[in-house]
Amino acid sequence: MTVQPFRLTDAAFAALGAGRPGKGTLDALRRAEHSRNLLLLRQLRRQVSDTPEWYAGLRAVPPEEAARWTADPMTGLWATHALRTASGSTPPPAPPGGHLLTATCEDLTLTVRLEDAEPVRARLGLTPAGPVTPSGLEHWRTCLEQAWARLVRRHRPAAEILAAVLRVIVPVELDPSAEGISATSAEAFGAVAMSAPPGPGALAAGLVHEIQHSLLNATHLLFDLVKPDGPVGYSPWRDDPRPAFGVLHGAYAYLAVTRFHRSEPGPMAAFEFARRRTSVADAAEGLLRGGELTRAGTRFVRALLDEVRPWLDEPVEPETRRLADLANNDHRVRWRLRNLTVTEADTARLVHAWRAGEAPPAAEAVLAAGSGRALENSPRLPLVRALVKGEPAAGAGADQACVRGDDGAAVTAYQRELGVDRGNESAWSGLALVSPSPALRRRPEVVRAVARAVPEAEIGALADWLPG
């Protein structure tokens, strides 16, 4: 077999980093992923002495039918698993079946397979839903047609990327803690696992988000973007620590989502645009500072940052900007409180200095062990979104005061809650958002560590004593 090289020009690579790949780039990524599948299948064939049924069947069908099967996302997913488990004789995916959905708007058509039966679909990382009912199928069909019309008319470049890449949607069970859930796999280019969308807008945004992950995975197949075995750190989109490649995945996916909301009407779109443009830019700048990117990765992320940076200057209503900043700050302080801790030795030194009336010694926050995977889950974000929409929202008095911008009332309420229970994590993160203390705003985990060790101390006094 002749090894086929895949190359991109500097201009094409920069456009890809900016989330605007051209047709030639998409063709190259798709061919590269097909070549990967073929190499996996060749290696799988070599692992067994007898001719496996899937190989005999492949040789018995017309070339175009064989090409469809070898390029299918489910084939790549199966072949990777079979190689890892040395089970080359296990039943492969059936020829592409499922429920075929087609949506056409103007001159652009999207054809995808709603895959609800193939066992290998569980390898996408989420729990597959059961077989789609007739009413469920109609819901998917209607949402897809309306989402496609919105994408083609308002977001034509994003629609063209979807038409070129998306091949399979795997319905999965809804996560009770999330409004919707979706995922992709580097082993299944063009496949998206997602829960049933509440409407066409959510489906459009979800597909735009997830297909970016497929593009980045395909890019990483050809170019090493991140150095291996780097440390984990803050990600604006998850509540758990993430490696640099995970942060890059989030930045690249939300680059497309931010662009989507930038062109959508309404207050929620303006809020999401204002919120995500900042988090994407911050993540890109952090990656460029962090030293974990390769030369290719640096070029890729610089193109990403160059794309989003001008959006930071676009006008947004002051109240929308305030709420977007609040949501971003809320995530950061909750992340710090969840994932960072102060060592027992540093805590003991701080406690000794406090009780002795001395200046506080230096203390470093370190990653807590075993914090585990966690999606974003803020008690204040639903209140923020309700306020953006102009809807009433239930919630604790402290959170209500925080969200409406009454910092003084919120500080009093959060301190009252912590006076009852200094283990109240929601109150700690809320107080860190509204406190005038630099230490609480920037290093809430340090204030919390000392406050728990000195329960008789007033939290505001401790925060003023500690450096910011």
Q: Which residue has the higher pLDDT, 180 or 302?
A: 302
Average pLDDT, the chain: 93
pLDDT at 3: 54
Say what the pLDDT of residue 74 is: 95
Q: Which residues contact 173 (CB under 8 A, 6 or more apart)?
A: 126, 127, 128, 129, 195
Find the helix or strand (DSSP H, E) in which 233 lies.
strand 232-233
Q: Are 341 and 445 in contact (CB under 8 A)?
A: yes
Give me the residue label for tokens 């999207």: 110
Q: What mean pLDDT do residues 394-404 have?
A: 89
- Residues of the chain by 3-state class (helix, strand, coil), percent to 5: 60, 10, 30
pTM given for the model: 0.94
The per-residue pLDDT for range 103-145, each reduced to its tens digit, is 999 999 999 999 999 999 999 999 999 999 999 999 999 999 9
210-236 pLDDT, tens per residue?
999 999 999 999 999 999 989 999 999
**Rounded distance between C-alpha atoms, residue 78 and residue 187, angstroms:** 9
Domain definitions of the chain by residue range? 224-316, 318-465
CA–CA separation, 288 vs 389, rounded Å? 36
Give me the phi and psi of 378, to 5 degrees please. -110, 135
**Residue 340: what are its φ and ψ, rounded to 5°?**
-110, 145
- Mean pLDDT score, 191-213: 97
Give the residue-averaged pLDDT of 318-336: 97
Q: pLDDT-derived band of residue 88, with 50, 70 and 90 as boundaries?
A: low
Angstrom distance (rounded) from CA 95 to CA 86? 22
Residue 51 to residues 6, 57, 67, Cα–Cα distance (Å): 31, 10, 19
Query: Which amino acid is residue 110, in one-letter code?
Result: L
In a 3-state reduction of DSSP, which class is residue 365?
Answer: strand
Asked whether the beta carbons of 238 and 374 are under 8 A apart, the reply is yes
Q: What is the tens place of the pLDDT at every residue in 302-318?
A: 999 999 999 999 999 99
| Of 254, 364, 274, residue with least CA distance to 326 | 274
